[in-house]
Amino acid sequence: MLPSTDDHEITPAAYAILRHDPDSPEVRLIDCREEDEFALCRIEGAELIPLSRFGEEANRKILQSDDPRPVVVYCHHGMRSMHATLFLRQHGKQESWSLAGGIDLWSRQIDPQVPRY
């Protein structure tokens, strides 16, 4: 189940359940790290929209698209993804959340096959 829009974050455990639950809505996963970080490691199924270009790319790829899927954004530790989530919400995409702890916490709690850096 998706978190409330009163919350700005989703925990790695909650997202892991969500992405594997056939009864949950499909969620769009956005990695807002930079290209070199994305090349090091990523969460399977993630789409790269670097924070350095987030405003223009998110506007075109998320905000102006007909894609109704909720969005989960992640970065390394959760700070950049929170900025991206706030941007999305300020521009009307209320069903968006930052992955708490980023890919680092995801690697430690959910998928140790994802390299840490």
- The CATH number that applies at residue 76 is 3.40.250.10
Mean pLDDT of the chain: 96
Asked, for residue 1, whether it belongs to a domain, the answer is no
Residue 54: predicted pLDDT: 97
Q: Does 5 map to a domain?
A: no
Taken in order 14, 105, 100, 46, the sign of the CA dihedral is: negative
User: Does residue 114 belong to any structural domain of this protein?
Assistant: no
For 108, the token pair is 């430690």
The pLDDT of 89-96, averaged and rounded, is 97
CA angle 70, 103, 86 (to 5 degrees): 45
Q: How far apart are CA 90 and CA 94, in angstroms?
A: 8
In a domain, 11, yes or no: no
Asked whether residue 56 is domain-assigned, the answer is yes
pLDDT in tens, 35-68: 999 999 999 999 999 999 999 999 999 999 889 9
Confidence at 1, pLDDT banded by 50, 70, 90: confident
User: Domain range for residue 105?
Assistant: 20-109
Determine, yes or no, domain membership for 116: no
pLDDT for res 88: 98
The pLDDT > 90 percentage for the chain reads 97
State yes or no: pLDDT of 116 exceeds 90.
Answer: yes
pLDDT value of residue 45: 97
Q: Is residue 42 included in any domain, yes or no?
A: yes
Number of domains in the chain: 1
Q: Is residue 8 part of a domain?
A: no
Distance of alpha carbon 21 from alpha carbon 98, whole angstroms: 19
